[in-house]
Amino acid sequence: MESIHFQYFKTDISEVQLPKKFTFPFYYEPHLLAKIASNEIQEYLESQKDFNHDFGLEEGHSDSAIGKMFGILVVKNTENKLGYLAAFSGKLDDKSLPKKFVPPVFNMRTEGSFYTKGEAEIDEINSGLSAIIHNDNYRDLKGEFQQITLEINTDLEVQRKKMKVSKKNRKLQKKSAALTFNEIDFKNLTEKLKQESYNEQFFYKELQEYYQIKLNKVAQNLKIYNDKIDLLKKQRKEKSNYLQETLFSKYAFLNQQKELKNLLDIFNNPTVKPPAGSGECAAPKLLQYAFANDLKPITLAEFWWGISPKSAIRKHKNYYPTCQSRCKPILTHMLKGIKMDDNLLLENLSEKQELKIIFEDDTIVIINKPAEFLSVPGKEIRDSVYTRIKAKYPKATGPLIVHRLDMSTSGILVLTKTKEANKILQSQFIKRTVKKRYVALLDGELHTEKGNIQLPLRVDLDDRPKQLVDFTYGKNAETNWEIIRKENGKTRVYFYPITGRTHQLRVHAAHKDGLNTPIFGDDLYGKKENRLHLHAEFIEFVHPSTNQNISFRVEADF
C-alpha cells in the first residue's frame, strides 16, 4: 500500500544520477535531488492554505514571528520508485499536522494521552500556586514581614552604633582617669563603666528578643502559606520529572535493522537528561517514517524558511546541517549500517599546505596562516600552526601561541619563541593595544559606508562550535567596519575587531542585527564555497624586545 506521505517528484528527474552514498547529515552539500525536492516543498509553502504559522515573511508580521527548519528525505519505495518525504522541526503555531509532512515520532498531545493529562495536572498546580501568590492576605503578610524586618535591622544597627560610641567613650574615660584618679576612685570608675557595658549588652539582647517575638507572630502566619507553596512546588517538580522521564521513554527510534531505542537508551547518561526537543527535529522524523514504512533513504537536506531567530543565524531558504547536541546521538543509532559520505569536517586539508614565515627573530615568529589550517591541534586533526612551529623550534620556551585565528580564516598569526615575549605580547592583546585589520568579501551589497557592531556572543550549547547572540549571558563583542568597494553584487570590507571572540566577525557580518550579510563562503553562517573569504591582513604591536612599534601586512588571495 502506498504511503500517504510519499511524494512523487513533479520535476523531471530522469537524467539525475543517484548519489552513491547517503548524506553525512552534519556537514554536506545538498545533492541535486535534494535541491529539487526542497524547491517543490518551498513552492508549496509559498501558497499553502493547510496550516497557519507566522514565518515573518509578510509585512507587519508579529513580534512572535519566527522561521522554521524544514527537511526533505529522498527515498525509494518497495517498488523501487523514487520520491521524497517532507517534515518540519518542532511544532507549527496552530499545532496542526498537515498531511504534506510526516507525523512526529511520538505525538505527545494526542487527546487523552498521558502527556496532556500530565500537563493538565501541572496546570492545576500552577493555578493553585498563582492563587496563593496573588492572595491579598499573603501579600499583606509578606509586606508586613519585610517592613518589620527592615525596622528591626535599622533599629539594631542604630543600637550597635550607640554601643560602639559608648565603648569608645568608656575607653577614653579610663585612659584619662588612670592619669588623675587615685586607686580607689579608679577602681570604682572601672566597675561603673563595666556595669554600663553589661547594661547596654543586656538591653541589646532584650531588644533582639522583643523584635523576634514580634516577627515570629507574622512569620507563623506567613509559614502556613509558604508551606503550601513549597508543597505545590515539590508536587510540580515530581510530576514534571515523571512526565519528562515517561516522555523520553515514549520517544523510540528505528534504524534500518528495525532496532528500536528510546531517548534514555540513546543518550545513556543517568546524570544528564536528553536536551529539550530531542526527537522533534526534521531529520529523525523523516528517517523514522522511512524505516517504519520500508522506504530506503537516498539523500537528505534541511532548509530554513522564514525570518531568523533573535540569537542564532538562519537565512531564508539556506540549507543547514543537522544539529549536533539533540540529533547526533539519535542519528548515530538511526543511520547504523548505512553507507554515508565522508565527514569532510575531519578532512585534513592542511597536510598539503605550506606554512609561510614572513618574519622571525630571536623572540617572535610571524606566519601567514592558510585557510582551513588549525591554529592549535584539534580533537581529531593534530596538524596545526602550533605543532609545526614547535617541531621547527624545539628549544623555544613558553606557550608559543599568543592569539588564534579560526581554522577557516587565513592571514597573519603571531607566535613567540620565549616565555617573556609571550607574556609581554599577551598583555598587549588583553589591553587591546594591538591594531588588527581583516579584509572580507561579503555575500551581498551593503548600503552604509561604515559602522560599529556590538552584539555579545556565547557558544551555542546545542550546536557547537556555532556562536549565538545573547544579551544576557554573552560576552561583550565589538567590531568596527568600513566598505572598501562593491564588486559583482558583493561587498569587500575592512573589519577592525575591538574584542576577539570566537567567530566574532562571522557572526557580526551574518546576524540580522549586524550587517545581515554573511561572509562569502561561510559554511556555518552563510553558504559554503571554495573557502571562507576572511583574511587577517594587517597587525601592529610593540616588539617585546626592542619596544619599537612593528607592523606587518599580507594581502588576501581573493
Active site residues: 406
User: Maximum distance among all alpha carbons in the chain?
Assistant: 121
**Beta bridge partners of residue 468, listed in sequence order:** 458
d(CA 434, CA 426): 10
Buried b (16+ CB within 10 A) or exposed e, 504-515: bbbbbbbbeebb
Cα dihedral 92→93→94→98 (10° resolution): -20
DSSP 63-129: TT---EEEEEEEEE-TT--EEEEEEESS--TT----TTSPPPSS-TT-TT-HHHHHHHHHHHHHHHH
**Beta bridge partners of residue 542, listed in sequence order:** 549
Residue with cell 588571495: 557
Residue 340 gets which letter from DSSP?
B
SS3 helix, strand, coil % of the chain, rounded to 5?
A: 35, 20, 45
Q: Distances in Å between the alpha carbon of 517 and those of 32, 429, 489, 510, 540?
A: 25, 28, 12, 5, 28
CA 61 to chain CA centroid, nearest Å? 26
- Which own/partner pairs from 17-21 qualify as long-range (CB within 8 Å, at least 24 positions apart)? 18/82, 18/298, 19/298, 19/299, 19/341, 21/339, 21/340, 21/341
Contact 33, 16 (CB under 8 A): yes
Provide the grid cell at 522.
561561510
CA angle, 186 as apex, 184 and 187 as ends, to 5°? 65
Residue with cell 588588527: 436
Contact 58, 338 (CB under 8 A): no
Residue with cell 577557516: 408
d(CA 484, CA 492): 5
Instruction: Find the length of the chain.
Output: 558
Half-sphere exposure of 426 (CA within 13 A, CB side): 12
Residue 131 gets which letter from DSSP?
H
d(CA 458, CA 461): 9
